[in-house]
Amino acid sequence: MSNEKLLSLNLKIWRQKGNKEKGEMVDYRLEGVSTDSSFLEMLDLLNEQLVEKGDDPVAFDHDCREGICGMCSLMINGQAHGPEKETTTCQLHMRKFEDGDTIVIEPWRAKAFPVLKDLMVDRGALDDIMAAGGYVNVNTGNAPDANEILIGKESADLAMDAAACIGCAACVASCKNASAMLFTSAKISQLALLPQGQVEREQRVINMVEKMDELGFGNCTNEAECEASCPKGIDISNIARMNREYIKAITKTRS
Amino acid sequence: MVTRLWLYLNSSIVKKQIMGFTGLFWCIFLTGHLAGNSLLFIGPEAFNTYAYKLTSNKALFYTAEFVLLFFFISHLAMAMKLTIENKIARPDGYYMKQATGRGSTFASSTMPYTGLIILVFVITHLLHFRFGPVYMITHSGVEMRDVYRVLVEYFQSPLAVGWYIFCIAAVGVHTSHGLWSAFQSLGFSHPRYTPAVSCISKIYGAIIFLGFSALAIFCYLQGGN
Amino acid sequence: MSDVKLNSNVPEGKLQEKWDNHKFKSKLINPANKRKFNVIIVGTGLAGASAAATLAELGYNVDSFCIQDSPRRAHSIAAQGGVNAAKNYPNDGDSVWRLFYDTVKGGDYRSREANVYRLAQVANSIIDQCAAQGVPFAREYGGTLSNRSFGGAQVSRTFYARGQTGQQLLLGAYSAMMKEVHKGKVKVHTRQEMVDMVMVDGRARGIITRNIVTGEFEKHSADAVLLCTGGYGNVYFLSTNAMTSNGSAAWKAYKKGACFANPCFTQIHPTCIPVHGDNQSKLTLMSESLRNDGRVWVPKKEGDKRKPSEIPDEERDYYLERKYPSFGNLVPRDVASRNAKEAVDDGRGVGATGVAVYLDFRDAIKRDGEQAIRDRYDNLFQMYERITDEDPYQVPMRIYPAVHYTMGGLWVDYNLMTTTKGCFALGEANFSDHGANRLGASALMQGLADGYFVIPYTLGNYFSNEGLMTDKVGTDHPEFEKALSSSKERFNKLLNINGSKSVDSFHRELGNIMWEHVGMSRNESGLNQAIDKIKALRSEFWKDVKVTGTEDGINVELEKANRVADFLELGELMARDALKRKESCGGHFREESQTDENEAKRNDQDFCHVAAWEFTDVSSEPVRHVEELNYENVELTQRSYK
């Protein structure tokens, strides 16, 4: 922390007024960026300067700035959430960059994620996938005592690994096919691993996959860029599990 | 019911599983093909007799050919469909896109290209050998096609050997990712075995490449005799 | 105007029976009729999402609004440590009564007994409900749920999911809500900000929202409005709240007649990553659970600039362990925070800025091994390293208190209804259960209790008592048009000031005033100054703020300006409330009221009450109403964690 330095940066940022308008890359020069500041604080600084000049600040999504809400996004130098492993953009710090660097900043790109403005995109498609089955159908008040459902530590831990997904969609952004399989499989895995999820296990995977396909996401080609870009380190074994769950579900005979 | 089935077949998962299944089938075929062709090292008689036995039951032979062709075309058609769909899924590309270095590999990112090379290769391969010149020879009193000669003759041109090795390299690279990928698509994943599958997949690709290349070079070297 | 009566509507009977009696006496609405009622729920955090899910399950039509791009982003997601319940699974002597008692005591006797008891009662059901939803709570090897201990309690009653309990509980509530979205019972409106509440015939009947994407204003009507909009900690500019967390929705309700209770009760969380520079946009909290294994210390000597590893044990002051031997590092948050400030004020702070104390894991690593510590806290340690570039496995963490939670909020009765009929407040947005200080892992408990288990009963009772089945109001009512045009006017006004200073610069300045005078320790002259400074800043804001862009489309500056304008009023109310409460209690420390040992000294004689403020006009003083707190079951004692 005491090794604070100031950086001068060249920024290339995607600017697009609205969903219907055409966008373009615009160059900015930014001086005096502290290496202790986060990537988003760097953008705050740029925006403060833009506002001072009376220009329209760059719109980007962000909220908690603790790496958990999943709202921040950004393709930084062609990588989702930037170069750091298992780090969201809001937790990426400028000490990872060098003085004089050029940084290219773009929005997530996918047919299912229309750009709203500049770097903001609409990720509502992920909510649609969740609504298709990412839950246990249990109404409030129906629950048995929590300790009546015994869950082995290993299953609980694996389910937690999958449940750690923050829904930021870096998996979609980094996938060369804009596939949402890692996101979808994480939820399917979590519930398939837990006894609570068993009753709706088959229908869930069918419905969620169907919805995912319908929304225009691409197909997985097993390149694992999603896993590599995931700020929460969600494993592609979840995708394998979903593949397995799906084939089991569609071949299962119903009595 | 039929529409349900159609929906399942069109789901992103089943499409990938068809890719995986057909690919895996071809990997098995390649293994057999390499093992059988290794009889070349023993000599003309062993190899020709093997080829003769393989083709003597015509019904079985044509069925096998048909199945191979069917799987090949399914794999190819599905690959094209997936590639087109995947392009549509991201209509506006990135200004800059870099791999993380932690996920995709050379093999995984070049699958469509190595696949295209393999397509051209398979066609020329069939033209040169399956539909190539027919010489007859008699081994142990049975008249059969002298496939050995066809091979040796073909591989006399260093250009042919070079092209062959190039194509086989594509096959090796393609399968080194494809084999593991098929397991992943079919849902086989286990913390203990998956790393092994990934490793075996690479070894498999290397064996295919080295094995078939050795055969081509062997044939080339037989030219002097 | 001042005919407000603070009737808490606490039911008669013994404490243990109040809630059951109340539920039984509450009028019901027949299932077929529930679909005739519409409910607006603003906010999709734990309280909002759980209320939306549960009310929709019952059959009500729910319109749910959130400011983010998805309901799953609400800031409840950032809670790390856990959720309390008196399950007594560890067999260590816990009970509903003890949870109730600890919460009342932790809140320094400024909360309503009946509400807190109900909270403790339903807490167990929360755990059951969440487990049934598939929330992956931590488990023992035998498959049962795991517990850990938290500040302010001597039993292990905190359930957790790694360091992401808030996330997992929120995703549970969110998925329960999405299940109702699928059934068509909940309609989620994302990227919408509530900009006004609409009153018709003395009842809240709808809201005006601004669509953040298009900039258009929309009218929404309903039979009740539930504000689940969280706290107002961002009034301090730097806090652990999310960037869009704001007080505006509650503030609009306040201006429409809902009293604002105990606004000065803010919680300063002791374990946050210290401020590093001027461009910093927010503070990051490290879960309180760290205090289970970490030991807090500063050097004994003033201005000791040696590296921590070079300071031998005998020259370290483990001040919490020294001063509070029975609770040690696990004293409640307010106590831990104030002691950190004291150490820093003594010149014994550490790090480059000198505004931090150490939280050291050396001994825990020595005792349990690095792997054990890694299993418990690895994600927190990683987060710390990412932000500070220091490895807490090697060097002690540096921490300092930061604004984290606001116990104050809209005044609500036992039914969670504000003084404005039909307007309910749930979760952090209300004032009810935490008194002057909230215990760790109690926020998640309260948000979910309100949403899953309280509002479903009390809302039906309201509907049926008010006869709202036939009395319907649509958005064509003139009051909606009036509210819409006044909102538009306000936004236009902000755009047209065209001054010279950015919105953030006003916000930062307000934050400085608040932190300086209405922060961890407060006194009369400081509070008076704060009121004057805020007034001056507010009038400067309305003359000199610069908001770029236009009213259509996404305009982040305009959104921020609207929120900061409200903070500039709310900050003043906080200072006023702090000024009038001439006692120290919980998170509110008045320098004039302390014991000889510099501990907070309550004044139960004069201040054992809730102060609820009624809006009159921006330029005139609000009216302070009082709800006396009667403790029938708990004896008021000076809190002691020694």
- The pLDDT tens digits for C121-147 are 999 999 999 999 999 999 999 999 999
Shortest distance between the Cα of C176 and any Cα of chain A, in A, equals: 6
> Model confidence at A68, in pLDDT bands (50, 70, 90)?
very high
Please classify residue C57 by burial: count the beta carbons closer than 10 Å to its beta carbon, then call 0-12 exposed, 13-18 middle and 19+ buried. buried
Asked if residue A161 and residue A224 are part of one domain, the reply reads yes
Tens-digit pLDDT string for chain B (225 aa):
678 888 898 999 999 999 999 999 999 999 999 999 999 999 999 999 999 999 999 999 999 999 999 999 999 999 999 999 999 999 999 999 999 999 999 999 999 999 999 999 999 999 999 999 999 999 999 999 999 999 999 999 999 999 999 999 999 999 999 999 999 999 998 888 988 999 999 999 999 999 999 999 999 998 755
Q: Which two tokens stand for residue C311?
A: 């300071």
Residue C111, pLDDT above cutoff 50: yes
> Are both A40 and A104 inside the same structural domain?
yes
In order of their start, the domains of chain B are: 14-86+109-222 (1.20.1300.10)
Q: Does the residue A1 lie in any domain?
A: no
> Which residue from A minimizes the CA distance to B85?
A218
Q: Pick the catalytic residue from C98, C157, C333, C398.
A: C333
Asked whether residue A133 falls in the same domain as residue A184, the answer is: yes
Minimum distance, in Å, between the CA of residue C46 and any CA atom of chain A: 13
Least confident of A133-147, C319-333, C538-552, C560-574: C319-333
User: What is the DSSP code string of C556-616?
Assistant: HHHHHHHHHHHHHHHHHHHHHHHHH--S-BTTB-BTTSB-TTS-B---HHHH-EEEEEE--
User: Per-residue pLDDT tens for C567-583?
Assistant: 999 999 999 999 999 99
Average pLDDT over residues C510-518: 96
Neighbours of chain B (3+ CB pairs under 8 A): A
Question: Token pair 């550490």 is at which residue?
Answer: C350
Say if residue A62 is in the same domain as residue A101. yes
User: Is it the case that residue C331 has pLDDT exceeding 90?
Assistant: no
The answer to whether residues A95 and A148 belong to one domain is no
Put residue C488 in one of left, alpha, beta given phi > 0 → left and psi -120 to 50 → alpha.
Answer: alpha
Mean pLDDT of chain C: 94
Q: What is the 3-state secondary structure (H, E, C) of C240-261?
A: CCCCCCCCHHHHHHHHCCCCEE
> What is the residue-wise DSSP string for C454-475?
IHHHHHHHHHHHHTTTT----T
A222 to chain B: closest CA residue: B181
Q: Which domain holds residue A10?
A: 6-117
Per-window interface: A 97-156 vs B, CB < 8 A = 104, 106, 109-112
Interface test mutation site (partner A, options B9, B90, B192, max chain A beta carbons within 10 A)? B90
**pLDDT given at position C279:** 79
Residue A166 lies in a domain: yes
CA separation for the pair A101, B176 (Å, rounded): 37
Does A28 map to a domain? yes
Q: A151 to chain C: which residues are within 8 Å by CB?
A: 139, 143
Name which of B67-71, B188-192, C435-439, C520-524 the model is least confident about.
Answer: B188-192
On whether any CB of chain B is under 8 Å from the CB of A57, the answer is no
Note whether A45 and A141 are same-domain residues: no
Query: DSSP alpha helices (H): ranges in A96-236?
Result: 124-131, 153-163, 170-174, 181-193, 201-214, 225-229
> What residues contact B26, with CB distance under 8 A and at least 6 apart?
B68, B71, B72, B75
Residue C145 DSSP symbol: B
Same domain, yes or no, for A146 and A212?
yes
CA dihedral sign, ordered B190, B196, B202, B203: negative
Contacts of A156 in chain C (CB under 8 A): 136-139
Give CA–CA dist C602/C588, Å, rounded. Answer: 10
Residues A137 and A105 reside in one and the same domain: no
pLDDT above 50 (res C337): yes
Q: Within an 8 Å CB–CB cutoff, is residue A136 touching chain C? A: yes
Asked if residue A136 and residue A108 are part of one domain, the reply reads no
Asked if A222 and B185 come within 8 Å (Cβ–Cβ), the reply is: yes
Interface list for B 83-102 with A (CB within 8 A):
85-86, 88-102
Considering A98, A117, A136, which residue would you say is the last residue of a domain?
A: A117
Give me C278's structure tokens: 């001027």
Q: Which uninterrupted H or E stretch holds C159?
A: strand C156-159
From A117, A145, A178, give the residue that closes a domain: A117
Average pLDDT over residues C335-342: 91
Domain boundaries, chain C: 269-403, 491-609
Q: Which of C50, C66, C67, C72 to mutate to test the interface with A (most CBs of A within 10 A)?
A: C72
User: What pLDDT does residue C383 have?
Assistant: 87
Q: In chain C, what percentage of residues exceed pLDDT 90?
A: 87
Q: What are phi and psi of B138, to 5 degrees?
A: -115, 120
Judged against a pLDDT cut of 80, whether residue A2 lies above it is answered with no
Task: Give the C-alpha separation, C95 to B15, whole Å.
Answer: 55
For the record, the structure tokens of C420 come out as 């404005």
* CA pseudo-torsion sign C587, C591, C595, C599: positive
Question: What is the count of structural domains for chain A?
Answer: 2
Which residue, C615, C581, C630, is CA-closest to C436?
Answer: C581
Residue numbers in A near C87 (CB within 8 A) = 146-147
Cβ <8 Å between B109 and A229: no
For residue C584, what pLDDT is reported? 96
Interface membership of A89 toward C (CB under 8 Å): no
Phi, psi of C61, deg, nearest 5 = -90, 125
Looking at residue A239, which CATH number applies to its domain? 1.10.1060.10
Q: What is the pLDDT of residue C597?
A: 79
Q: Under an 8 A CB cutoff, do C548 and A91 touch? A: no
- For residue B225, the model assigns a pLDDT of 53
pTM, 2 dp: 0.95
CATH code of A31's domain: 3.10.20.30
Q: What is the CATH number of domain C491-609?
A: 1.20.58.100
pLDDT band of residue A1 (cuts 50, 70, 90) is very low
Q: What is the pLDDT of residue A254?
A: 65
Q: How far apart are CA C582 and CA C523, in angstroms?
A: 9
Q: Which residues of A touch B8 (CB under 8 A)?
A: 250
Q: Which chain A residues are closer than 8 Å to B184 by Cβ?
A: 222, 236, 239-240, 243
Could you give phi then psi for residue C213, rounded to 5 degrees? -80, -45
Q: How far is A90 from chain C (nearest CA, A)?
A: 10
Active site residue C333: yes
Q: What pLDDT digit, counting tens, does each position of A112-137 carry? A: 999 999 999 999 999 999 999 999 99
Last residue of a domain, one of A100, A117, A134: A117
Q: How far is C411 from C450, CA to CA, in rounded Å?
A: 14
The predicted structure's pLDDT at residue C3:
66
The answer to whether residues A113 and A144 belong to one domain is no
Q: Tell whether A235 is covered by a domain.
A: yes
A24 in a structural domain? yes
The count of CB pairs under 8 A between chains A and C is 235
Surface of A (187-226) touching B: CB under 8 A: 209-210, 212-213, 216-226
Token pair of C330 as six digits: 């696990």
- Residue C2 is predicted with a pLDDT of 53
Tell me the pLDDT band of C1, cut-offs 50, 70 and 90.
very low
Q: Are residues A238 and A129 in the same domain?
A: yes
Whether domain C269-403 has CATH 3.40.50.300: no
Task: Return the DSSP state at C225.
Answer: E
Whether residue A143 sits in one domain with residue A61: no
